[in-house]
Structures are given as structure tokens and as C-alpha cells.
Homo-oligomer: A and B are copies of this chain.
Amino acid sequence: MTLAQTSTDFTSCSDCNIRYRAVCATCDTDELRRLEDIKYYRTFDAGQPIMFEGDDMNFVASVVSGAARLSRTLPDGRLQMLGLLLPSDFIGRPGRDTVTYDVEAIQKVTLCCFRRKPFEDLVATTPHIGQRLLAMSLDELDVAREWMMLLGRKTAREKITCLLSLIGRRTASLHLQPIADGLSFEMPMSREAMGDYLGLTIETVSRQMTALRKDGVIELEGSRIITIPDLAVLMAETGDDADGGMLA
């Protein structure tokens, strides 16, 4: 068992798979060179903590590959997942020096890290990074509020179908597959992680998955491989407008 590693590998920013989606997306060559000067890579295995709530925030980072999650835990142990971090997502907050959520790898994850102070200097002096960070923060805010609607007002079945639709569509677009009936994908998270994300217990998640299977809304191969025979049927179960989810 190894702890987090600081990689000796070095990928040029121009060859990076998140070059045009991450915080550096709109940087010109000069700005990119300045970022490149201060970046370093770290990897974490699935299940490893990346930051703890209350820690000093020594670095900020972009997710290059894999997946991580943000969560917070109440004193009595109740846990709520607050965000899912996928390639190109940004971890950390310039201008704040302690971490406000737990961050944990849920798959093997590689981060492109920047020590916080030099990065903050860059934000202050290179307008493109600040602008990009603003746009990304506003996107995250939309996602968080969408999730508030789900957590506050949706039923267990609606929560599950929303998550399946989300993961299915994102996985398809990541692999450049069409979003159409018969869509099949692997769920990247355990039943427990699904519950943590949706504000449900593991038993309720499992029961709803079984119910959806029996109702023909989904097909299961093992517990992780999911096929959607009819997307419209799935979308009709999410509680959202039928067309709202079909776009994009």
C-alpha cells in the first residue's frame, strides 16, 4: 500500500487531455508557461483522502484523470457528498487558507497541483485564469443548486433515476458515444457512494435499483453495468421536464 505519490513524470501542458477544459483552458502561451513552471503531479488510489476539512490548504489542483469527491460529515457521523470531481474539475479555493470539505479519491486519481501562494499570485496577475475560474465556479454553483432541488424535493426513485441519467449521459459523451436508447455504461460508484450523494441509505438505493429493474426501466448486468432500453422512460421518472434532460 503506497501513500500519495509525487510523480516524476512530466506531461507538457500542450499535450494535456484537459488543456481546453480546465482552469488553464483560456490561457495564452505565456500564461501557460507560468503555470507549467509551478505545477507538479500527484496520484491517489481509490479510497485515499486528499484533503481533510480543517487542514491548511497548501495546494490547489486540477483533476487530470480519475474521480474524487467532496463531502462533509456531521458530528454524529451522518455524511453527505457535496460534489463529484471529474477530469478538468478544480480543487481548492484561492483566497482561503483552510479546507472546508473532506476531499477523497473514489477512483485512482491524478492531480495537476499548484502550491497555493504562487497560484494566487498568478490569479491576481493573469486575467485569463481568474476569468476561467469565475466561469467554472458559476457552473459549480449551478450544479450545487440543481442538487439542492434533488435533495430537498425529490423522491428516492427520482433521485436514483436522476443520477443514472447524469452518469449515463456523461459517460457516453466522454467516450463519444451517442446518447440513445440501449445506452450502456458502468456505474463508477458503489451503492454506498450513491446513497451518500443522494441523501439516501444503502438499502433504499438497492431497493430502488431492484424496483427499476423489475419495472423494465433499467437492465442490470452484475450490480454496476447498466443498460437503459428506453431513455424517455428513464427521463419520465426523474421528475424533471422530459425535454430538460434530453438537451445537451
Contacts and interface: CB of A to CB of B under 8 A. Distances in A.
A72 to B, nearest CB: 5
A74 B240 contact: yes
A153 B240 contact: no
Interface string A219-248: 000000000000000000001110000000
Given A127-B130, A134-B130, A153-B78, A141 B144 contact: yes
Chain A interface size, under 10 / 10 to 19 / 20 to 34 / 35 or more:
35 or more
Contacts of A83: 145
A114 interface: no
Contacts of A74: 149, 153-154, 239-240
Given A124-B131, A130-B127, A72 B138 contact: no
Contact of A152 (B138, B199, B239, B241): B199
Contact of A138 (B124, B137, B241): B137
A75 interface: yes
Contacts of A133: 134
Contacts of A135: 95
Contacts of A241: 75
Interface string A57-86: 000000000000010101110111011000
Q: Give 3 closest A-B pairs by Cβ, nearest first.
A: A152-B199, A151-B151, A144-B144
